[in-house]
A and B are shown apart, each in its own frame.
Chain A
Amino acid sequence: MDLAYSDEEEEFRGRLREWLAATLPTLPPRPDPLDWPARRAYDCGWQRRLYDAGYADVHWDASPTQRLIFLEETELAGAPYVGANFVGLLHAGPTIAAEGTPEQRDRWLPPVLRGDEVWCQGFSEPDAGSDLASLRTRAVRDGDEYVVSGQKIWTSHAEVADWCELLVRTDAGPGVSKHRGISWLAMPMDAPGVTVRPLRTLAGSTEFAEMFLDEVRVPVGNRVGDENDGWRVTMVTLSFERGTAFVGEVVACRRLLGELARTARENGTWDDPALRRRLGRLSAEFQALWRLTQANVSEAQATGGVPGAGGSVFKLHYSHARQELYEAAAGVLGPDALDLGHDWTLDRLSSLSYTIAAGTSQIQRNIVAERILGLPKGR
């Protein structure tokens, strides 16, 4: 039970902090959230700075503890988030690094690290959400190519992506279990037959897109892993997401709570003991979530970096606590909570996705019950 960082880790933190202090003031102004090309340029520009400074591969090569320090310090300093590079850096990249051939790694990884190429994720389908393995987008072999047809949904950054990590069904034969017969392809987004349509969220923004695939030709050499082995390859990808992915968010929530307390003291709502105590409880919860993160990272560090089911325990509480944070914020803000011009209001709306995205709370509870507690599978 040691929470002290080693000299080496503190040195990493110190150097990073210095670099952030020198670099952040030189960044261009943040782009309009509705201007996708500008967002891509901004996020890729930030990734290029990280690359030049030697931090580009922190999500892949650094130890879990260094990654924790990186995410903590960048959030504290107010640095940009991965943004459009999320899939490349945290999903597709690690998958290709783990499962790709040397040629595939050479082709796709350097441009991700340099911020030259952006990836999006083509996993979910209208009829394959929580039950992802029932996906139906077909890929039929035709010589050296797959011919892909189907529909994908919730494809973040699709409008500006160069590549899509695509899950397709390569064997739909009778008697094949739904987890078999899936393959993982890297699909160029400029291929003929790819149509992207923005999907408007309840917050009014277009964070996601629908993607229609009409006989899109993808070279067989773009398949990562064996044919029909895509589900296992995908599980490698998903395990990265549930590791340190939320470190920055926990730090951010602490900052938001501090801001909220300041606002409450200014506008007098702090005098309401119920509201004050609600903020106190939330603060205790985010502090505990931070300790849980440190426990998960310590575990990941000891077991070779692949995070275990502890990530589901964390995500379950975190996503609810963050929604509760915005509920409490609405109490502090009063009428402002109904004003769409207020950042808090938009964030409150966005937070409604937290218990759905990356595995709904209900699916997470199944995972916890079956994989950690050993309860039987079933419905």
Chain B
Amino acid sequence: MDFRLTEDQRALRKGVRELLARLFDREALRAAVDAPSPSLDRELWRELGAAGFFALRLPEEEGGVGLGLAEAVLLFEEAGRVLLPGPLVATHVAAGAVPGAAEGSTVVTEVDEGLVPWLDEADVVLGEAEGAVPLRSVDPLTPLHRVPGFVGAGSRSGTRPHGRRSVVPTLPQRGDPHAPAERMPTTGVVEDTAEVLPATEVAVLLTAAEQVGSAGRTTEMAVSYAREREQFGQVIGGFQAVKHLCAGMLVRGELARAAVRGAAVTGDPVEIAGAKLLADEAATANARDCLQVFGGMGFTWEADVHLHLKRAWVRARLRLPAARAEEVVAANL
């Protein structure tokens, strides 16, 4: 057992971080935020495709990079760090199934939890989006449409849209749902989880990975601000009240990261649900605490904090929201 990143994985993460710094730096982020309406940068999309962002898990003989879920979560952590916009997860998951998705020439979105992100900009929509109406999305970088007839995540009787593919994650239970979950899944690691896992579960996990990336980034932002900002003649990071907020952010982020990486290795659907739950919590709570550390500045449009919080809210609402994730994990207790 060695749960640390391998040398190749560290190199991949470094490469992705450098790539994203080049393709979507802070200037690009702010330009996108201040654009009159969110639009998808096709050239960026194609460059992501050319770099293997969407084809990462496709076998090499199909033109892919031939890597697995463990590498994919590292990729999406990085995407979450820089608030990379667009239906990244849907397009990544559709690679190989939807022509052009792997290369970044086709933008794929999906109906999910009664919402469709990036509907107007996408080339292919998975799921039934007929009659969808635009809403003024809270996240300036994620346009959203609402699908008629969807009642809500907490409701079990809600009408769900039907389309080419079910949008409701049907997470299978372990062999016997009433068996005691006394044993950790220490063995039974799936060799290539990508081949066995349904696309919906991969999408849940990769969304969780984006949340982890965001949670890590807001921790860094808060810490670096707390080391510079001075009040009462000292940097505010010297005050325990601020220190403890930052420490709590790190704990949440590290716990969620361990959960997401563990789930990527085992491919266990229940573990994926648990990882999404903790990653949503980490991303939203860390963005909140980061905003608090930033004080008045955190409440401004200029600081990036609100972008992390709003994106975290959107992702928490999509791809197996908390109430259902908790039920999935509970059902296997």
Binding site for B on A (CB under 8 A): 1-6, 9, 65, 72, 76, 251, 254-255, 257-259, 261-262, 265, 273, 276-281, 283-285, 287-292, 294-295, 297-299, 301-302, 310, 313, 316-317, 362, 364-366, 368-370, 372-379
- B255 on the A face (CB < 8 A): yes
| Residues B250 and A290 in contact, CB atoms below 8 Å apart | no
Contacts of A317 in B (CB 8 A): 251, 255
Check: B9 CB closer than 8 A to any chain A CB.
yes
Is there contact, CB below 8 Å, between B333 and A257?
yes
How far does the alpha carbon of A291 sit from the alpha carbon of B273 in the complex, in Å?
15
Q: Which residue of B lies closest to A2 (CB)?
A: B2
Nearest 4 A/B pairs, CB to CB = A284-B274, A280-B330, A291-B262, A288-B259
CA distance A120 to B201 in the complex (A): 50
Is A3 in contact with B262, judged by CB distance below 8 angstroms?
A: yes
A301 to B238, CA, bound (A): 33
CB < 8 Å neighbour of A375 from B70, B223, B264, B331: B223
The chain B residue sitting closest to A284, CB to CB, is: B274
Q: Find out whether the CB atom of B255 lies under 8 angstroms from the CB atom of A281.
A: no
Q: Could you name 27 residue pairs across A and B whose Cβ atoms are closer than 8 Å? A: A1-B70, A1-B261, A1-B265, A4-B1, A4-B187, A5-B186, A65-B1, A251-B184, A254-B182, A261-B330, A276-B330, A279-B330, A280-B328, A283-B330, A284-B326, A291-B262, A295-B261, A297-B1, A299-B4, A316-B247, A366-B247, A369-B237, A373-B223, A375-B226, A375-B242, A376-B237, A377-B238
Number of interface residues of B (CB under 8 A): 61
Interfacial residues, chain B to chain A (CB-CB below 8 A)? 1-6, 9, 70, 178, 180-184, 186-187, 189, 219, 223, 226-227, 234-235, 237-240, 242-244, 246-248, 250-251, 254-256, 258-259, 261-262, 264-266, 271, 273-275, 277-278, 323, 325-333
Report B-chain residues with C-beta under 8 Å of the C-beta of A362. Answer: 240, 244
Whether A284 lies near B273 (C-beta < 8 A) is yes
Chain A residues closer than 8 Å to B184, beta-carbon distance: 72, 251, 254, 287, 290
Q: A277-B327, A280-B327 are in contact. Are A3 and B333 (CB under 8 A)?
A: no
Q: B323 near A365 (CB under 8 angstroms)?
A: no
Asked if A298 contacts B4 (CB within 8 A), the reply is yes
Q: How far is the CA of A254 from the CA of B329 in the complex (A)?
A: 12
Please determine whether B264 and A3 come into contact, CB atoms closer than 8 angstroms: no
- Evaluate whether A284 and B329 lie within 8 angstroms (CB atoms) in the complex, with A1-B6, A292-B254 already known: yes
| Nearest Cβ on chain B to A213's Cβ, whole angstroms | 34
On whether the beta carbons of A285 and B278 are closer than 8 Å, the reply is yes
Given contacts A251-B184, A280-B328, A291-B262, is CB(A313)–CB(B251) below 8 Å?
Answer: yes
Most buried by A among B178, B244, B323, B326: B326
Partner of A291, one of B2, B259, B323, B327: B259
Chain A contacts for B333, CB-based, 8 A: 257-258, 261, 279-280, 283
Q: When chains A and B are docked, how far (Å) is the Cα of A280 from the Cα of B184? A: 15
B226: which A residues are within 8 A, CB to CB? 375
Q: Which residues of B contact A251 (CB under 8 A)?
A: 184
The reply to whether A375 and B243 contact each other, CB–CB distance below 8 Å, is yes
Which of B9, B255, B330 has the most C-beta atoms of chain A within 10 angstroms of its own C-beta?
Answer: B330
Contact (Cβ within 8 A) B278 A291:
no
Once the chains are docked, how many angstroms separate the CA of A303 from the CA of B331?
39
The residue from A76, A281, A297, A369 contacting B246, defined by CB atoms under 8 A apart: A369
CB pair B180–A3 under 8 Å, yes or no, is no
| A370 CA / B223 CA spacing, docked (Å) | 11
A295, B258: Cβ atoms closer than 8 Å: yes
CA distance A171 to B186 in the complex (A): 51
B183 in contact with A76 (CB, 8 Å): yes
Contact for B244 among A295, A313, A365, CB less than 8 A: A365
A349 to B258, CA, bound (A): 30
A289: B residues at CB distance < 8 A:
255
Q: Which residues of the other chain, A, contact B326 by a CB distance below 8 angstroms?
A: 276-278, 280-281, 284
Task: Tell which of B181, B243, B330 touches A366, judged by Cβ atoms closer than 8 Å.
Answer: B243
Give CA–CA (A324, B70) in the complex, Å: 31
Nearest neighbor of B332 in chain A, beta-carbon distance: A283
Which residues of chain B have C-beta atoms less than 8 A from A299's C-beta?
A: 4
Cβ contact within 8 Å between A287 and B259: yes
Q: Which residue of A is nearest B265, CB measured?
A: A3
Q: A317 to B278, alpha carbons, bound, how many Å?
A: 12
Say yes or no: A258 contacts B181, CB within 8 Å: yes
B243 touches A281 (CB 8 A): no
- The interface residues of chain A lying within 8 Å CB-to-CB of B250 are 313, 368, 372-373
